Amino acid sequence: MSDNTPTPEEEPTEPLVTDKRRIDPETGDVRPEAAEAASGDDISEEDLEILEEAERDLVAEYRDRAARAEAELANFRTRVERDRQANRETVIAEVIRSLLPVMDDLDRAEKHGDLAGTPLELVAQKLRASFERYGVTPVGVVGETFDPSLHEAMVRLPDPEATAETVADVIEGGYTMADRLVRPAKVAVTVPASE
């Protein structure tokens, strides 16, 4: 076999690299081959103006796209932050809602005088302080005007002296948190006798 292909031992060990850069990296000058190639391109003034106008239009289009993308990103961040805050409030409201039966029991014990001077009095104070820290406020006070968005009427008591629907008794307290109703107050309502 006498073909002229080199054997693996005879092949060159370094790869052949062709430098096609227009600027010489050592001197920073335009290489002569690149200068000759550029001088061979004859572009008319009219063609040059068309190219410059196309370049300006392209730059304007990409600036417009970048501005839109930036606005979309700002809107996305705003939506994400709003959703994150809403989710946080929902989770806190669920935790508060799960603690309300405990608060109801402590309120009943306090009304009966069973809380004063006991360790549970301190527990009730701490629980109320925690509710306040998260903006949880009680609703449903005897004598206030009945509001169906905050109260749930369990009993309607006709009264000839009543002029409007008012809360006569609070059966179970209600709570709001940051303008959100966590639980409506269950109340007895005094209504005018004519109704």
> How far is CA 131 from each of CA 84, 109, 121, 138, 148, rounded to the nearest angstrom?
21, 18, 15, 9, 23
Burial class (CB within 10 angstroms; exposed 0-12, middle 13-18, buried 19+) of 163: exposed
DSSP element (H, E) containing 185: strand 185-192
135-195 homologous superfamily: Head domain of nucleotide exchange factor GrpE (2.30.22.10)
Least confident of 28-32, 54-58, 128-132: 28-32
Does the pLDDT of residue 159 top 90, yes or no? no
Q: Could you give the CA distance from residue 110 to residue 104 in angstroms, rounded to a whole number?
A: 10
Q: Quick one: how far is CA 46 from the chain centroid?
A: 54
Average pLDDT of the chain, as a whole number? 85
- What pLDDT score was predicted for residue 80? 96
pLDDT tens profile 101-118: 999 999 889 888 888 888
- What pLDDT score was predicted for residue 4? 60
Mean pLDDT, to the nearest integer, of 183-191? 93
- What one-character-per-residue DSSP string does 54-108 give? HHHHHHHHHHHHHHHHHHHHHHHHHHHHHHHHHHHHHHHHHHHHHHHHHHHHHHH
Q: Could you give the CA distance from residue 17 to residue 70 in angstroms, rounded to a whole number?
A: 43
- What pLDDT score was predicted for residue 37? 59
Does the pLDDT of residue 91 top 80, yes or no? yes
Please count the residues of the chain. Answer: 195
Does the pLDDT of residue 129 top 60, yes or no? yes
Does the pLDDT of residue 8 top 70, yes or no? no
Per-residue confidence band for 71, with pLDDT thresholds at 50, 70 and 90: very high
Return all residues near 152 (Cβ < 8 A) that are at least 6 apart: 174, 184, 185, 186, 187
Per-residue confidence band for 10, with pLDDT thresholds at 50, 70 and 90: low
Q: Which amino acid is at 192?
A: P
Cβ–Cβ under 8 Å, residues 174 and 138:
yes
For residue 167, count other CB atoms closer than 10 A to its CB: 22
- What pLDDT score was predicted for residue 195? 47
Give the start-to-end residue ranges of the domains of the chain. Answer: 135-195
pTM given for the model: 0.57
- What pLDDT score was predicted for residue 179? 83
